[in-house]
Every structure is written in C-alpha cells, then in structure tokens.
Structure 1
Amino acid sequence: MKQIKVLVSSCACNQKFASLVEAVVKNNQIDATVEKVDDIMEVMQYNVMSLPALVIDGQVVARGQKNEKELLEILK
C-alpha cells in the first residue's frame, strides 16, 4: 500500500488539490492511504519551495497544481 502525503497551505486552491488527490485514489481504486499535511514544520522537512506538493512513500514526486489525468499517471 502506498503512503501518499499531500503537502498544502491553508489557501483554497491547495485544499481543493488535496480533495482531488483523495478523489483520484478512491475513484481509481488505488491501494493507498492519503494524508493531508498542512503543518509548516512537517512540510519543511521535505524541502519543497512551492505548494502543493505530492509525496509518495517518502519521496517528493510532484510540485504545483496537477489535473486529474496528471495525478492518475503519477499515482498509478
């Protein structure tokens, strides 16, 4: 099972991105857990300069907004 973390800030677009990641995982039956991380100290551990960012199994795999198709390619 993959462990997915969505690194976000409190802005609405970041929150929408986190919801989209959850929907893509659910709708495509991807074997993964999704965690939204908005604690700045935890986000800083991943050394990302822009949010949102996507972390799978401890590795940063994407930065910035992605659409549903792009997310599906990354998550599969």
Structure 2
Amino acid sequence: MKNIKVLGSGCTKCKTTVTLITQVAEQLGVKIKIEKIEDMTQIMAYGVMSTPAVVIDEQVVHKGSIPSREQIESWIKE
C-alpha cells in the first residue's frame, strides 16, 4: 500500500489533486492511504514552497500544480 500525502492550504487545486489520486487508485485497483496536510509547519518541513504538492512514501514527487492523470498512474504503479 502506498502512503500518499497531499500538501496544501485546502484550496480548490489541492482538493482536486486528492480527488484525482483517489479516482486513479480506484480505477487501477490499488490500495492507497491518502492524507491531506494543511498545516504550514508540516508542509514547510518537506521543503515545499508551492502547492499542491504530493508526497509518496515520504518522497516529494510533485509540487506547484495539479498532477496529470498519467503522472498519478506512474506513481501508483511503481
């Protein structure tokens, strides 16, 4: 199971990112644990300055925009 965190302030882009990741995982039949982090101290601890950001198994894999469906699929399939 992949542990995925979406870092962001709770804006529309951040919520869309959570929804997209959840949808792709369901379509691929992959179990994930997804967590939304809105605390700025925690976000800064990852060295992220632009959100939304995606962290998979404690590695920052994306930041600054909504990831594409293809990007999400590649992260989940790994």
TM-score (ref. length: structure 2) = 0.84
Query: Which residue of the partner structure matches residue 58 of structure 1?
Result: 58
Check the 8 A contact 1:8/1:18 in 2, yes or no: no
1:27 aligned to 2:33?
Answer: no
Structure 1 unmatched ranges of 5 or more: none
| CA apart distance, 1:10 | 2.0
Query: Which residue of the partner structure matches residue 41 of structure 1?
Result: 41
Provide the alpha-carbon RMSD of the alignment. 1.3
AA matched with 1:22: T
2-structure distance, mates of 1:36, 1:26 = 18
% of aligned pairs identical?
Answer: 36
